[in-house]
Structure 1
Amino acid sequence: MDGKACVLLLVPAGALGGINLLSFTTTDRFKGIRELPPGWHFVFASSTNSLSVRHGAWFRVRGGGAAADGSGPPELFIKKWDRETEELVAETDTAEALRWRANLGAVWRDGLTPYRQSASKDADDEGDKELDWRRLTDRVGEPLLDRVLGAERRRDHWCLTSASSAARDMDDIPGLPREQSAFQPEKELCLLPVDLKRTWRPGVTGRERTEAAQDRSWALGDLLERYCGGDEAQLLGEMQFAFLMVLTLNNNSCLEQWKRILTLLLTCKKAVVRRAGLYVSFLQLLKLQLQHCQDAEGMLFDLSDEGGAMLKKLLRKFRKGLEELEGKEKSDVVDELDELEDFLKEEFGWQLDDSFVRRGMLELEDGERVEMDVGTRFDEDDETGDFAPMVVELTEEQARSLGVTTGSVERGEQAEQQGKKLAKPESGIADVEVQEESEDEVDLEDMDARY
């Protein structure tokens, strides 16, 4: 028992419990998990296995000092279920914590289950899952958890729930202040302010603004310098944090943030060359996360044909942007992207290249053959968001007030002037000839004016 860290998860029988990538249903004898390896861990629980609010906490096993060599008491972390508020809280009573430590030997064998990350008894599978957890959390640290969850943590725990949310993702009731809500306020997540709408530096117009809307490299650099101190690991760490909070807590705000980070990184071009190391690590992490996306409940990470439409579009656009870049720096990024696409093709049947038939004959169930054309919508480099370019049609009055001559206004004025010069014809045939001739002249003059 000496030197082996453990966490006491004091929850009622039949509740949902979990640590890292493994979840389970608790029994009467269950008191926690023992023999935790050094590193970051995430423990979570809810009152039932159904879609109830889940509560979780991050903590770190140091694994050093007297506890590591077996000469001292084990590191002990205590989380208990508050039946009144139905929350997973830290044990703040010093006397109670000392009592549990003194009685640890009595529950060590029968009440504490050995740490594992797989329900399978296969040692290789267990080793793979443990390695995956380390890779999924290798950029999570105290600075990131302090920023996202607040530095005023309880002892050595960073807590949140499935209802915790960033301010931008909260659904506020109009006219009702948040502090007057009948519900207990949840922890606000201080996630990075990824803005996908304004992606250009202040004050720019014209071509530079258009380019920044199509290539979000400036927005990525500004985010890293302003909020991460230039540390790219902070962005990847938040991507890890967001993904794992979806996987374990079904946290919707973290799901939205994960999508925002993916969208930002996969819609950059120039940054791929400048930050090739970031993109290599990003694509490796994305592949690892997608390998575990099926572990999420409720189809939150849906990679079916319809559910994966957003990611497919982003990867196609990212590939197209890479083809336009020059320089040897992108070669490693291309290699990682190839591996990611191969995995998606093998695992989910995705076809991310454009080598497919755009037009052909399709035979229906009744034997009828029809010609189908998918068009070119996959080639369109469309832009979305509130600041995407729009084509608007001005009225004649608006055009005159702006000093702009539209085709319809100019055509009307020219036709009116031309009509005054023409004499009234004597016959209907002459009338048609004069009208056709005048319309042709107006069209030619209109074309000259526009081109």
Structure 2
Amino acid sequence: MDQNSARQMFENGAFLVVLDAPTGIEFGIDLDTWETGPLFKGLKMIPPGIHYIHYSVVNNDKQAGIQSGFLHSFVSKEVVVRRWCAETEQLYPSDHVSAEDVERIRMGIRDLDKGLGAYPLGSGPNDSYARWQKLTGYITPAMLAQLLPPNGEFSSATGSVYEDEEMEEAQKALHHATAEPPAALLDTTDRFNFTHSDIRRSFPANAPPEDIRKYSRDKSWLLKTLLSSRWHDNPQDLLGELQLAFVIIFVGQNFSGLEHWKFLMHLTLCCAEALEDRVLVSRLFVPLVRVLCVQLAECPQEFAASVLEQDNFIAVVLETLVLNVYECSADEMRTIMEKEIGGLRKLLEERFSWTLATGRQLQADADAEDGEYAPQVIHLD
């Protein structure tokens, strides 16, 4: 970066100042991580937008501990001040720093220049900032306030509504078995407040048997219901949650995001009826496949194999999408989606050596299962 560009970024970018910054910890922003030195005071030239600040304490064996951090929507020229607590090994939020200290730092920000690391801005489409923007383009500040714990902070150990539900079920079972009152849940302030619904009950209440059968497999009714009630008929909010869940898994190293990512994938990719809706195809399904391509392109093979392929999940939902598109009666929508799936198929083959079957192949397999290999029903007199 030339001097004029650097000067402009210093003037217009945001700053993160870390008081009492420690030496020798892993500290990073977005997709980049460094080891702090004795002069480290924070970061400068942060582009306006949503960024993830993260850090881990390193032990004597050079092994990093639990990762902690926070997501924050930085604005131009903003100065965010955090204080390091040596006792808890955490960055304390801004309410632990006086307004007088913040103003003093703001006025003297140039005096800290030598101790502020520059945000790693590159110039190519594959530099870390460009990749970060693609990973987070649908996430909004309102989403961070709604779905994250206070101050946007979380660690590798932060839980979610999914774990809370499991705990509630376990406590109910214990209560029925022992007649003891259920214990109180953990502090729910340290939880991701994900939008959630029972994916198995994807049909209307009091639905006739034929609708129960149809919408148990086709998630279109549940998708449209949640788009209206949870996302205010704005598919971009759903896409933002999908991106946020992935960032929490992939960059935040917190697997509470995995169940929500899988829920949203199941909810959207297992729709048949909704694929005939021109608005949903253009505003949801096409960008969703592109978001998925960006996410998979970031994944090392071992991450995809150990995390995203768990229980063969990706193969099942992608094959469901391919077959639904193949069977779609709306020719224009089918053509649009087959083009997007073609790009996804190429990525899977080149990056992971995965072969995503065509709709014709999947239909032939389905017909075979319904034919001579179909389960036989035996009536016992």
Range of TM-score over shorter length: 0.7 to 0.9
Answer with 1 or 2: which has the greater Rg: 1
Aligned partner of 1:349 among 348, 353, 365: 353
One-letter amino acid of the structure 2 residue matched with residue 211 of structure 1: K
Query: 5+ residue gaps in structure 1?
Result: 64-73, 358-375, 382-389, 394-405, 409-451
Q: Show structure 1 runs of 4+ deviating over 6 A.
A: 303-306, 354-357, 376-379, 390-393
User: Is 1:279 aligned to residue 285 of structure 2?
Assistant: yes
Q: Which runs of 5+ in 2 are unaligned?
A: 1-9, 175-181
Corresponding residue of 2:103 = 98
Aligned equivalent of 1:431: none
Matched, 1:338 2:332: no
Q: For residues 8-33 of structure 1, what are the alpha-carbon distances to aligned partners after superposition, in whole Å with 9 as ceiling and x for unaligned?
A: 24542221211111122222222111
Could you give the per-residue CA deviations for residues 234-291 of structure 1, whole angstroms, max 9, x where no partner exists?
A: 1100001111111222111111111111111111111122111110000000000111
Q: Is the 8 A contact 1:30 1:111 kept in 2?
A: yes
- Three-state SS of the structure 1 residue aligned to 2:124 is helix
Q: How is 1:418-437 mapped onto 2 (pairs within 5 angstroms)?
A: none
TM-score (normalizing by structure 2): 0.80
Q: How does 1:216-365 map to 2 (within 5 A)?
A: 216-274=219-277, 275-277=280-282, 278-294=284-300, 299-302=302-305, 307=310, 309-327=312-330, 328-353=332-357
Summarize the Cα distance change of 1:77–1:340 in structure 2 as closer, same or farther, 3 Å threshold.
same
- Rounded to whole Å, the distance in 2 between the matches of 1:146 and 1:3 is 24
Count of aligned pairs between the two proteins: 344
Alignment match, 2:4: none
Contact 2:275–2:281, Cα closer than 8 Å, also in 1? yes
Alignment partner, residue 7 of structure 2: none
How far has the Cα of 1:79 moved from its partner?
A: 2.3
Identity, in percent, stands at 23
| SS at structure 1 position matched to 2:193 | coil
How big is the alpha-carbon RMSD for the aligned residues of Structure 1 and Structure 2?
Answer: 3.2
Written as runs of structure 1 = structure 2, the 5 A alignment for 1:70-85 is: 74-85=77-88
Q: Secondary structure at the match of 1:88?
A: strand
Q: Name the SS for the 1:116 alignment partner.
A: coil
The answer to whether the 8 A contact 1:12-1:47 is kept is: no
**Contact 1:139–1:233 (CA under 8 A) maintained in structure 2:** yes
Note if 1:7 corresponds to 2:16.
yes
Relative to 1, partners in 2 of residues 1:392 and 1:353: Cα closer, same or farther, differing over 3 Å? closer
Contact 1:20–1:117 (8 Å) recurs in 2: no
2: CA distance, partners of 1:377 / 1:264:
22
CA distance in 2, matches of 1:306, 1:61: 34
Cα distance, 1:307 vs structure 2: 4.9
Shift of 1:308: 8.1
**Residues 26 and 64 in structure 2, CA contact (< 8 A), matched pair in contact too:** no
- Work out whether residues 309 and 315 of structure 2, in 8 Å CA contact, stay in contact via their aligned partners in 1: no
Q: Tell me how far apart the structure 2 counterparts of residues 178 and 14 of structure 1 sit (CA, whole Å).
A: 39
Using the size of structure 1 for normalisation, the TM-score is: 0.68
Matches of 1:161 and 1:144 in 2, distance apart? 18
- On the 8 A contact 1:194/1:261 being kept in 2, the answer is no
State the Cα distance separating 1:333 from its structure 2 match.
1.4
Measured after TM superposition, the shift of residue 305 of structure 1 is: 11
Whether the 8 Å CA contact 2:162–2:259 is kept in 1: the answer is: no
Rounded Cα–Cα distance in structure 1 between residues aligned with 2:309 and 2:202: 28
